[in-house]
Structure 1
Amino acid sequence: MAQQADTERRKPLNRDRVLRAAVARADQSGIEALSMRGLAQELGVVPMALYKHVANKEQLFDGMVELVVGEIDAPADGPDWRGAVRDRVLSARRALLRHPWALRAIESRGTPTPAVLDYLDSVIGTFRRGGLSVDLTHHAMHALGSRVWGFTQELFPASPAADPADPADPAGPADPAGRGDQGEQAAALRAMAARYPHIAEIATARAHDGASVVGGGCDDQFEFEFALDLLLDGFARLHECGWSSDGG
């Protein structure tokens, strides 16, 4: 293993190697932990050597975004625009799940990178090749929002039914030591249900798993695809009836 690492470090430095090492480091430790000095140390070079390939940290982030977006599958050919958009969005979701830091990096870029613009342009182009009007496509892209990257903000980040000792529980631990008191927790949940019965009903409708991104126990992938399919079905119906935003 050590010999393999030494061999890797002796490889000639180029932009692609710098970016791939940066992506791997961000995957492992988060993008906040990424520094030019740490990256240089990992690559076995002095920090100044990196600047021959990336002018600064912002350019490094741009290149990292380009690599991740490049992992998204190419658009499928054919008349099934709905299936093509669906597959593309789900491919984007898989790519960004492999690199949890990437969505924030994409959103933080002051100017979208060429790969980001290429991806968005291709999604729009798929709608247009499917016959959707410019008007409907414009509103469809707004409706998709960040979902075009495979993610969306969730309404219920955690369930009131979460483990009382779980730090992710919205009610929090019942004592400063974090041990929690199940009786007090249960009473608080009953009080919440009495005051907000419909929220409680929906939030506790499914068992929640604390590891879920959606919020403990909801199936992340199912919830995402459910909403995506609703949107795509809606776009298709509007397209079939000749919808336009001006009511014409």
Structure 2
Amino acid sequence: MAQQTEAVRRTPLTRDRVLRAAVALADDIGIEALSMRKLAKELGVVPMALYKHVSNKEQLLDGMVDVVMGEIDPPVPGSDWKSAVRQRILSARRALLGHPWTAQVMQSRSSPTPVVLAYMDSMIGMFRTGGFSVDLTHHAMHALGSRMMGITQELFDASPAPGGGAQTSASQEGAQEYPYVMELAAAVAHDEGSVVGQGCDDQFEFEFALDLLLDGFERLRDQGWSSADGLRGTGRYG
């Protein structure tokens, strides 16, 4: 063990090594527990040594996000716009699910890093080169929202209610008042650990919604839709 620690100390400290060690440490102990002191200890250096590579913890967090973004697969050459967008988003989802703290850090940033901006530029470019107008691309980006990064935020916390779960709780509150909620709740097999509802398959639900959006974007593109149509009162979506 002593030899291993000594070997770590002898390895030259670089910005890339600092960031990757921080990502691994956050994966292990959680982003809230991450500190410059703990990271320095993990790397076998004094905390001041880190500041030669990152000015402060905020810069460290930005760099960590960029490391995770670097795990997203590049666009596949020759793919049509829909396949390319779908592949990139699902790859982003794999990357962010592999480092669950990333979404929280990204949401805390006041502005995106250059790496995040490059990803967004690439996504927008897929729509533009796929025949989408600037107008429709703009609205498509709004519709995708956080799905562009492979994540979604549900309206309600789906954590089970104490002493019997969501369905039992709803029953106790009066199932007669919410017949459709109870009908839907009873219709699905429930598993644990889903953010879209206890028992729902997160990946399936994510891809289902993504495919609906992409199909809808394609239909609007083919119709030559413009937001001005809705403003003129000639119909929202044709």
Tell me the amino acid that sits aligned with residue 85 of structure 2: V
Q: Distance in 1 between matches of 2:221 and 2:136?
A: 7
Structure 1 residue 186: Cα displacement = 4.5
Contact 1:30/1:101 (<8 A) preserved? yes
Q: Distance in 1 between matches of 2:138 and 2:32?
A: 34
Structure 1 residue 188: Cα displacement = 5.5
The 5 A counterparts of 1:181-196 are 186=168, 189=171, 191-196=173-178
Identity of aligned residues (%): 68
Structure 1 residue 156: Cα displacement = 5.7
Q: Distance in 2 between matches of 1:50 and 1:125?
A: 37
Structure 1 residue 216: Cα displacement = 1.9
Would the alpha carbon gap of residues 100 and 236 (structure 1) be closer, same or farther in structure 2, given more than 3 Å must change? Answer: same
Contact 2:73/2:88 (<8 A) preserved? yes
Q: Distance in 2 between matches of 1:226 and 1:90?
A: 12
Tell me the amino acid that sits aligned with residue 219 of structure 1: D
Note the aligned Cα RMSD (angstroms): 2.0
| Alignment-derived partner of residue 191 in structure 2 | 209
Cα deviation code 1:94-141 (max 9, x no counterpart):
000100000111121112100000000000000000000000000000
Structure 1 residue 191: Cα displacement = 3.9
Q: Distance in 1 between matches of 2:149 and 2:168?
A: 38
Contact 2:20/2:64 (<8 A) preserved? yes
Is 2:197 aligned against 1:223?
no
Would the alpha carbon gap of residues 188 and 76 (structure 1) be closer, same or farther in structure 2, given more than 3 Å must change? Answer: closer
State which drifts further: 185-194 or 234-243: 185-194
| Alignment-derived partner of residue 169 in structure 1 | 160
TM-score with structure 2 length normalisation? 0.89
The 5 A counterparts of 1:14-93 are 14-78=14-78, 80-93=80-93
Cα deviation code 1:18-51 (max 9, x no counterpart):
1011000111111100000111111111111100
Would the alpha carbon gap of residues 237 and 142 (structure 1) be closer, same or farther in structure 2, given more than 3 Å must change? Answer: same
Would the alpha carbon gap of residues 192 and 3 (structure 1) be closer, same or farther in structure 2, given more than 3 Å must change? Answer: farther
Q: Distance in 2 between matches of 1:213 and 1:111?
A: 26
Q: Distance in 2 between matches of 1:21 and 1:203?
A: 43
Cα deviation code 1:157-191 (max 9, x no counterpart):
43xxxxxxxxx313x23xxxxxx6x9xx8485154
Would the alpha carbon gap of residues 188 and 143 (structure 1) be closer, same or farther in structure 2, given more than 3 Å must change? Answer: closer
Tell me the amino acid that sits aligned with residue 66 of structure 1: D
Give unpaired runs (5+ residues) of structure 1: 159-167, 174-179
| Alignment-derived partner of residue 216 in structure 2 | 234
| Alignment-derived partner of residue 162 in structure 1 | none
Contact 2:93/2:151 (<8 A) preserved? yes
| Alignment-derived partner of residue 12 in structure 1 | 12
Q: Distance in 2 between matches of 1:106 and 1:188?
A: 35
| Alignment-derived partner of residue 179 in structure 2 | 197
TM-score with structure 1 length normalisation? 0.86
| Alignment-derived partner of residue 236 in structure 2 | none
State which drifts further: 146-155 or 60-69: 146-155
Would the alpha carbon gap of residues 141 and 42 (structure 1) be closer, same or farther in structure 2, given more than 3 Å must change? Answer: same
The 5 A counterparts of 1:121-200 are 121-155=121-155, 157-158=157-158, 168-170=159-161, 172-173=162-163, 186=168, 189=171, 191-200=173-182
